[in-house]
């Protein structure tokens, strides 16, 4: 186990999170998939920066447009119309779609407003909805990150990976 195994996940740099994720997925023989909107593939990029990631990273979907969410992940267009692309139902549907259209057992999905424009009173810049599916358990969460576009996207990648590790490590209920 790596020396960082006892440190809080929040304090670990992204490459160390990826190393820990690789250990956890490899130990279970699981593969992961990503479904990304506002991060444009940065989660997949962080994962595949690690040599040997093909052993546990199965595929990534960059579904920046609503049409891509529908065509590639089978997110119902009516769901997007009713709740907006940046919403809990869409994040959950993206995670489900990534699993359904891959050979993975684990998926993470993100959809948000990275800025600098595009925000609203209900969904200000920095708002991100996450969806995770781990071995049949689904979780979603909304976060708001401060900073410019790069900071919002980096924080999104970090939180997505951090929470995915926590969900993998959690005992099955």
Q: Residues 11-29: pLDDT tens digits?
A: 899 999 999 999 999 999 9
Q: Mean pLDDT for the chain? A: 95
How many domains is the chain built from? 1
69: tokens are 């969410």
Please report which confidence band the pLDDT of residue 173 belongs to, taking 50, 70 and 90 as the band edges. low
Q: Give the number of residues written for the chain.
A: 173
Q: Can you spell out the DSSP letters for 72-131?
A: HH---HHHHHHH-SSSHHHHHHHHHHHHHTSS-SEEEEEEE--SSS---SSS-TTEEEEE
Residue-wise burial string across 134-161, b where 16 or more C-beta atoms lie within 10 A, e elsewhere = beeeebbeebebeeeeeebbbbbbbbbb
Q: Which has the closest alpha carbon to 164: 1, 15, 17, 8? A: 17
Report d(CA 119, CA 122) in Å as an integer. Answer: 8
Residues 6+ apart with CB under 8 A from 106: 25, 30, 31, 32, 33, 132, 133, 134, 135, 164, 168
Q: How confident is the model over 23-45, as a mean pLDDT?
A: 98
Please report which confidence band the pLDDT of residue 4 belongs to, taking 50, 70 and 90 as the band edges. low
Report d(CA 63, CA 48) in Å as an integer. Answer: 18
The residue range of the domain holding 63 is 3-169
Report d(CA 105, CA 125) in Å as an integer. Answer: 31
pLDDT (0 to 100) of residue 3:
44
> Which residue has tokens 């447009």?
65
pTM of this prediction? Answer: 0.94
Please report which confidence band the pLDDT of residue 33 belongs to, taking 50, 70 and 90 as the band edges. very high
118: tokens are 């595009």
22: tokens are 């690789």
Q: How confident is the model over 121-141, as a mean pLDDT?
A: 95
Report d(CA 114, CA 142) in Å as an integer. Answer: 14
Q: What's the CATH code of the domain at 55?
A: 3.90.950.20
pLDDT (0 to 100) of residue 75:
98
Q: Residues 54-88: pLDDT tens digits?
A: 999 999 999 999 999 999 999 999 999 999 999 99
Q: Residues 82-128: pLDDT tens digits?
A: 999 999 999 999 999 999 999 999 999 999 999 999 999 999 999 99
């Amino acid at each position: 186990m790596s020396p960082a195994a006892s440190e809080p996940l929040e304090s670990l740099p992204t490459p160390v999170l990826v190393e820990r994720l690789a250990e956890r997925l490899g130990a279970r023989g699981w593969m992961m998939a990503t479904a990304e909107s506002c991060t444009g593939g940065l989660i997949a990029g962080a994962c595949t920066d690690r040599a040997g990631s093909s052993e546990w990273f199965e595929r990534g979907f960059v579904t920046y447009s609503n049409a891509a969410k529908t065509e590639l992940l089978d997110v119902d267009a009516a769901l997007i119309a009713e709740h907006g692309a940046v919403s809990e139902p869409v994040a959950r549907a993206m995670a489900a779609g990534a699993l359904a259209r891959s050979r993975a057992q684990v998926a993470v999905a993100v959809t948000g407003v990275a800025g600098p424009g595009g925000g609203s009173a209900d969904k200000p810049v920095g708002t991100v909805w996450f969806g995770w599916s781990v071995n049949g358990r689904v979780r979603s969460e909304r976060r708001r990150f401060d900073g410019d576009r790069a900071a919002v996207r980096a924080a999104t990648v970090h939180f997505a990976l951090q929470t995915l590790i926590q969900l993998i490590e959690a005992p099955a209920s």
